[in-house]
Amino acid sequence: MPIDSATLSKIADEAGRAVDELLECACLKPGQILVVGCSTSEVRGEKIGSAGSREIANAIWLALTAARNRYGINIAVQCCEHLNRALVVERETCTQYNLDEVSVVPVITAGGALATEAMSGFTNPVVVESIQAHAGIDIGNTLIGMHLQKVAVPVRLRNNHIGAATVVAARTRPKLIGGARAVYA
């Protein structure tokens, strides 16, 4: 069922505000990685994996690319469980971070709508097996934690919903080592 333009505009706005809020809190430097997991079914108010939408994916993709351009960050879009949560990235990101490329093309029914959108939206997309991102946003409980650097720190967003989907976010920080006598600042 088609989604009206007002709803798509609202989804894009909510996604943009959530991503901006996370990036301002996480203080990512240009070139660092934001991992994004997204169930467009959940955004729609449906069960994850049951009602994927390229229209919703496009609205969210536009917000992500705007943030990428503003902050100079790399985006990694997580595929669904049918592709073992592999990620779509720009080839440049794959090379920069020495990531393991895999051979698959995400589609809406195996990879998910946002990963499919990333494949057509990136300039030179590749799919990689895993990543250790500097921050992440999970739209609709897609479980992005496996793709975050140690140590992940939850970020409680004010903008914690996109459509009907719950949004969970995290930033990362270096491990604290050394014990009671160590100085960290």
Q: Residue 71 pLDDT > 80, yes or no?
A: yes
Distances from the Cα of 116 to the Cα of 27, 78, 99, 105, angstroms: 28, 10, 20, 8
Q: Predicted confidence band at 1 (pLDDT cuts at 50, 70, 90)?
A: low
pTM score, two decimals?
Answer: 0.94
**Sequence-distant (≥ 6) Cβ neighbours of residue 134 within 8 angstroms:** 26, 28, 32, 33, 34, 149, 171, 172
Instruction: Report pLDDT digits (tens) over 15-38.
Output: 999 999 999 999 999 999 999 999
Fold (CATH) for 5-172: Rossmann fold (3.40.50)
Question: Do the Cβ atoms of 146 and 85 come closer than 8 Å?
Answer: yes
- Average pLDDT in the chain: 96
Three-state DSSP at 183 gives coil
Which residues have CB under 8 Å from 158's CB, separation 6+? 21
Res 117 pLDDT > 80: yes
